Each structure stands twice: as structure tokens, then as C-alpha cells.
Structure 1
Amino acid sequence: MPRSALLVDFALALPVALAVSFLIAWALRALFGRRLSLPLSVMTIVSVLGLSAGLFVSGWLFAGLRIWMPMTLLIAAGCSLGLSLLVAGVAVLLRRDGSGVDIAALLHAGESERVEFKETARWNVREDKKDARMEAVVAKTVAAFLNSRGGTLVIGADDEGRPVGLDRDFATLRTPDADRFELWLRDLLATTLGKNAAALPRIRFAEVEGATVCAVRCPRAPEPVFLTQGGSTELWVRVGNSTRAFGVDEALAYVSQHWRPTLATFLLGRR
């Protein structure tokens, strides 16, 4: 028989608690999918805190309970699941609210360090034809926003913020509608920026003054996003109201400063 049963129980309970917390966190991540932005590590910590709260409640309200009793385990697991569901639900709601964008207000405010207007994404207005160079400009702008403080690219508006619509871009697609345009845009970003980076922007459509306009809302990327075109790989960044590529020396210095690890990034599971 152990001389200190309490310590033995704690030694056995610790890895079990971590395993249970991990399983709860993994299940919630699978349940919510991409809607849940919190990483698995954070959800596991939340689940552990829920288990701790459950054990505290068991010891505070009920006399004679021990750690391996069914009621203790049930209360602890219930508190862990409940707290994890609450945190996950709040995170999903906050992300949903944060993904909304008032496109009309952006057009009225004009371009800035975090807002850029593009009249088309595929159609060369001057030459009146489809042009791959227009696609490259869109990819560069999205990469620059991701590599900076984030921002919104509005497609279908001229430099003055007047909505001109996406009809010319739609006409270049097999199916001329917003769904096909978003699918094309995602494919473009996946090809030029990588699949992980392509999943970061939130794409929204709105009718402004009778014209269909697309807003690509880009968060600050958790790691550098490089643009790959032809045989070159470039780092694009927003500098004031402009988008520019950094040379090797500038890129190294910028990456080391912009993605410098902090306590907050560590706790949130970011690099």
C-alpha cells in the first residue's frame, strides 16, 4: 500500500486529465472546423481548467468524494466539456462578427494603408481583354495585406471608390456568378500564395448602387506569406498606401521584426 495515497492519486490523475482534455479539445475542433480559430493547444488548456473547476466544485459541495469516484469524474468531465463549449462558441461568434465588412462605408472612406480598390481582377480595362497581369496584382495585394497589419481589397470599384461591378470579370468565367468568382479567386491565391495562406482571407460580396462588389478581408498572417510566380519567390508588404516587394536583406529584417515571438503569440499557438 502506498504511504501517501493522495500523491499517488494525483500522479495517476495528471496524465489522465491531460489525455481527456486533449480528446475534448480535439472533438470540439473537429466539430466546429474552420469556424473555430483557437488552436488545439489553447482548447486543451481550457479543457484542463474545466476539469480543475469540476474537481473544485466536487470537493466544495459534496463530502467524502475521492478523485476516482464516478460522481467526481462525471462532474469534472461535465465542467470541462461545458467550459470548452462556452469558449469555443464565443470564439466562433466573435470571428463571425469580425468577418463582416461594410463595403459601402469602405468605398466612401477611400483607399488607405489598409484598404485598396481594384476595378477588375482579370480584365484589362485599357486593353479591353483578359489579362493575367491583373490577377498577379490581386495576388500581390492580398499577400501584402497578410504580411502587414491586415486590410481589405475591394474588387469592382475604381480608384475614386465608385462601384463599377464585376460583370467584366464574371464574363471570363465558365459560370458568370459570384460563387464561381470566389472559387477562381481561392484557386489563384492557393497557386500563388499557398493553400494555408489562401484560407486566411474572408471573401464577401455586396450590392452597392446596383453593382456587385467583392471585398477580400485579409487578417495579419501568423507567418510570412511569399508570392510565387514563374521562378521567383517574393515577399510583398504594405508601405503606406502602396504595395511593394522587399529585397532579400529587407525581407529578412522585416520577417524577424514583424513575426517576433511574444508571450501572447505563444499562448495563442502562433509562430
Structure 2
Amino acid sequence: MSLLAGFINSDGGILLIGVSDDGTISGLDDEIKKFHKDSDDKLLLHFKNITASRIGEAYYPCFNSKLIKVKDKKILAVHCLKSDKPCFVDNEQFFVRTNPATDNLTGRKMYDYIETHFKNS
């Protein structure tokens, strides 16, 4: 959830789940088969439920997720938009995306970022 919140708290972006940082496509096919009874819909529902519990339903408009096939492997592509209010993971942690990393801001750094990034919202 830190990556998703990081994109939402920054300028948006695309999160690819099932693709490693070096571009290797592992896909989600095994996970879908093993944990979601070979159902794409059950994986998508699981993702929706996790985001609802970890960052909140209020942020649903900030992202759109769909399964796509790349090199015959399913990955989850999550298109994130910038939020007009700060998004916290578990109501505690605040992440921002600073390419190519996702940083957990705390204390003064978090306060300053929120004050400047969301001031016109």
C-alpha cells in the first residue's frame, strides 16, 4: 500500500503489480490460481478490500485498477491520480513518490510536504 499511497500523495503514476523493479515480469497467474480460486474478479475484489481497509474508500476515485496481459502473464496495472488531500496508510504512515523511490515522511518533513503540496486543495 505504500507505493499506492506514494503515487496518490505525489503526482500520480502507474503502479504495475507483478513486475519487478528491473522489469522482469513474474505476473500474478500463480497467485490468482492459488489464493483466488483462479478468478480474476476475486483478485480484484481482494485488492479493493485491502485498499479500503488500509487507505480508505475515500481514495477510490484516485485510482483505477485492471488486470492486463503482458507476455502471456497477468499483471495488475493501477493508474493513480493525485489526491487533493493527504492519504495515509493505516491512518499513520505518509508516503510520497520521489522517483525512483517511495519515501515514508514523518515529523517536520511530512508536515512541510502536506502544507505545500495540498495547500491549493
Q: Distance in 2 between matches of 1:166 and 1:188?
A: 16
Determine the structure 1 residue equivalent to 2:85: 223
Unpaired runs of 5+ residues, structure 2, are none
Structure 2 residue corresponding to 1:246, chosen from 100, 105, 114: 105
Structure 1 residue corresponding to 2:9, chosen from 139, 144, 147: 147
Q: Quote how far apart the aligned CAs of 1:204 are.
A: 1.8
Q: Distance in 2 between matches of 1:213 and 1:239?
A: 23
Q: Quote how far apart the aligned CAs of 1:214 are.
A: 1.1
Query: In 2 relative to 1, CA 169–204 (structure 1 residues): closer, same or farther, beyond 3 Å?
Result: same
Q: Distance in 2 between matches of 1:179 and 1:199?
A: 19
Aligned to 2:62, the other structure's residue is in SS state coil
Q: Distance in 2 between matches of 1:193 and 1:205?
A: 21
Instruction: Name the amino acid aligned to 2:119.
Output: R
TM-score (norm 1): 0.42
Determine the structure 2 residue equivalent to 1:204: 66
Q: Distance in 1 between matches of 2:100 and 2:51?
A: 22
Determine the structure 2 residue equivalent to 1:45: none
Question: Moved runs in structure 1, 4+ residues, more than 4 A?
Answer: none
Structure holding more helix per residue: 1
Q: Distance in 2 between matches of 1:168 and 1:209?
A: 15
Instruction: Name the amino acid aligned to 1:202.
Output: N
Equivalent runs, 1:1-271 vs 2, <5 Å: 139-170=1-32, 171-173=34-36, 175-228=37-90, 233-261=92-120, 271=121
Ranked by relative contact order (alpha carbons within 8 Å, sequence separation 6 or more), the top structure is: 2
Unpaired runs of 5+ residues, structure 1, are 1-138, 262-270
Q: How many residues end up aligned between the 2 structures? A: 120
TM-score (norm 2): 0.91
Q: Quote how far apart the aligned CAs of 1:199 are.
A: 4.1
| RMSD between aligned residues | 1.4
